[in-house]
Amino acid sequence: MILETERLILRPWQDADRAPFAAIVGDPHVMRFYPNTRDRAAADQWIDKMIAGLDAGTSAFLAAEHKSDGQLVGMIGTARIDMELRGNPREEIGWVLGSRYWGRGYAPEGARAHIDRAWRRGLPELVAFTSVLNTPSQRVMEKIGMSRDQEGDFLHPRVAEDHPLRPHVLYRIANPARS
């Protein structure tokens, strides 16, 4: 599955993505709103999981490649949700980009292509969630037309109880054809 935007190709993962993806998720600045950075083995596992999800049709976290030079910008995609959230949403949308690409609107650009695809698939809504502290990611959610569900705040079950990243916010966007 391939999606194309003005500046990005969103496509399945290739072996050549493994080293640049490991550099992105091994960068403490990129991962400052995650409990840990990932070493090469963990980054490979993450890619393997995304490939398996694509094969199974349970997720579409795609590699975002810069059209002009073929460099890996990061990861942008959608996936089925495997935990309880308010309203039982089916799928989430998310993103992680290398820091040298931040601030140029790539995450919203790639996310919009995934939203269009979600509506074409007939999905009733998409949600996104992140740590309360992750304001850059919340800005992306706002830019792509998502609204914060104030009643959807939650403590992430896979983040340690006393960890400052545990409180999360929930954003939603509804399929305009279904509302």
Ligand X SMILES: CC(C)(COP(=O)(O)OP(=O)(O)OC[C@H]1O[C@@H](n2cnc3c(N)ncnc32)[C@H](O)[C@@H]1OP(=O)(O)O)[C@@H](O)C(=O)NCCC(=O)NCCS
Question: Which positions lie near ligand X, rule CB under 6 A?
Answer: 30, 33, 94-97, 102-108, 130, 134-137, 139-140, 143
In the complex, what is the shortest distance from the CB of residue 124 to ligand X, in angstroms, rounded to a whole number? Answer: 22
Rounded Cα gap, residues 50 and 95, in angstroms: 13
Rounded Cα gap, residues 43 and 49, in angstroms: 10
Extract the runs of DSSP E, i.e. beta strands, from the chain.
Answer: 3-4, 8-11, 59-66, 72-80, 91-97, 125-131, 147-148, 154-155, 167-174
Rounded Cα gap, residues 130 and 61, in angstroms: 16
In the complex, what is the shortest distance from the CB of residue 117 to ligand X, in angstroms, rounded to a whole number? Answer: 18
Question: CB-wise, 100 or 179, nearer to ligand X?
Answer: 100
Question: CB-wise, 29 or 177, nearer to ligand X?
Answer: 29
In the complex, what is the shortest distance from the CB of residue 96 to ligand X, in angstroms, rounded to a whole number? Answer: 4
Question: CB-wise, 78 or 130, nearer to ligand X?
Answer: 130
Question: CB-wise, 13 or 110, nearer to ligand X?
Answer: 110
The type of residue at 30 is V
In the complex, what is the shortest distance from the CB of residue 104 to ligand X, in angstroms, rounded to a whole number? Answer: 5
- Say if residue 85 is exposed, middle or buried (CB neighbours under 10 Å; 0-12, 13-18, 19+): middle
In the complex, what is the shortest distance from the CB of residue 8 to ligand X, in angstroms, rounded to a whole number? Answer: 10
Residue with the shortest CB distance to ligand X: 103
Rounded Cα gap, residues 98 and 29, in angstroms: 10
In the complex, what is the shortest distance from the CB of residue 2 to ligand X, in angstroms, rounded to a whole number? Answer: 20
According to DSSP, residue 136 is labeled: H
Question: CB-wise, 83 or 177, nearer to ligand X?
Answer: 83
Rounded Cα gap, residues 133 and 164, in angstroms: 8
Question: CB-wise, 143 or 148, nearer to ligand X?
Answer: 143
